[in-house]
Amino acid sequence: MIDALIQQRRNRDLSIDDLLSVGDLSDKDIDLIFELTTIAESILTSNERKCSLLKGITQFNFFLEPSTRTRTGFELAWKNLWADVVNLSSTSSSMSKGETLLDTIQTLGALKPDLIVVRSPTSWAPHFIASNSCASVINAWDWWNEHPTQWLLCLYTITKFLGKGLKWKKIVIVGDTMHSRVFGSLIRMTQRFWMNVIVSAPCTLIQNNLEQFWAKIEYNLDKAIEWADIIYTLRLQTERASWSFVSSWVEYSNKYIINERRLNLASPSAIVMHPWPVMRNFDIHEKVLSDTRCKILDQVSSWYAIRFILLWLFWSKSKKYSQSNLS
Ligand code: CP
């Protein structure tokens, strides 16, 4: 199967050196990533999953904010691809002693990493790192800005279940769009693929620039769900004081939880998505989590395959790799 993967790639490369923003990816890039991800999904459930595609490569996992899915997805992919991985967090790096991001990056750069995956509570930090490093940089979320690998796996899941033609597909995005880590990339996806989008949330949790993304607002979630092909629900970001934006937790949950009654208002072919972690029985009811229309675990299983493929593709785009090939 590894041979099939290499053959399917046919020496094709991505058009970009770093994955900082979803807008950087061309349609051809997305097609290449998805073609290879389909094969990677079979590899990762077989005994061929340990392969040496990235043997000898040094990668830094630079997470300045907590993560379960993104970090483990990349870490497992690195381990299966035999790369050498160094994990750094805000508390385990000298940034906790006041070292600047520039000094940290220059120090790490002296160790000649090939790839850096970075999650930062500061928007544009991955762009700053990319312009001060020879490694290829993958943005694993930069505050309210973007989460491109999450965007790719959501898009992959949607096309898997609803087909490639996304034009005019109807998506309702429910919940804390104000503080969400994935909303920025998600709303760009709806616009890029000409999807119809409705945001449903309390007015205090809705960003005020939605018209630039052609999004409409519907405070009555029942109405929005009746209309939707995709119900994409977001967690209330309690770690960012989102609770102070709602008058009562109980009222918020009553109005915006995806429960069985609401799911039954949707078309039988509608799907439910969520980026995880969920607040069980608060933003989504456990009966919905076990419904066949709920594709949250499918999102989870593709997170690993997508990241496996991204590491492989970005290694050959690494600036260090290109320089060594040129010399
Ligand atoms: N969806 C997502 O980014 O999850 P983590 O915060 O666990 O990485």
Mean pLDDT of 205-233: 95
pLDDT-derived band at 296 (thresholds 50, 70, 90) equals very high
Residue nearest ligand 1's atom 6 by CA: 67
Is residue 317's pLDDT more than 80? no
User: Residue 232: in which H helix or E strand, if any?
Assistant: strand 230-233
Single-letter code of the amino acid located at 72: T
Question: d(Cα 58, Cα 61) in Å, to the nearest integer?
Answer: 10
Mean pLDDT of 112-134: 93
Is residue 321's pLDDT more than 60? no
- Which of 69, 71, 156 best tests ligand 1's pocket when mutated (most atoms within 8 Å of CB)? 69
Question: d(Cα 309, Cα 195) in Å, to the nearest integer?
Answer: 26
Overall residue count recorded for the chain in this entry: 327
Kindly give the distance from the C-alpha atom of residue 290 to the centroid of ligand 1, in angstroms, as a whole number: 20
Pocket of ligand 1 (CB under 6 A): 67-71, 150, 181, 275-276
Q: Which residues in 94-128 are b (16+ Cβ under 10 Å) and which e?
A: ebeeeeebeebbeebbeeebbbbbbbbeeeebbbb
* Model pLDDT for residues 7-57, shown as the tens digit of each residue: 999 889 999 999 999 999 999 999 999 999 999 999 888 888 888 888 888
Residue nearest ligand 1's atom 4 by CA: 69
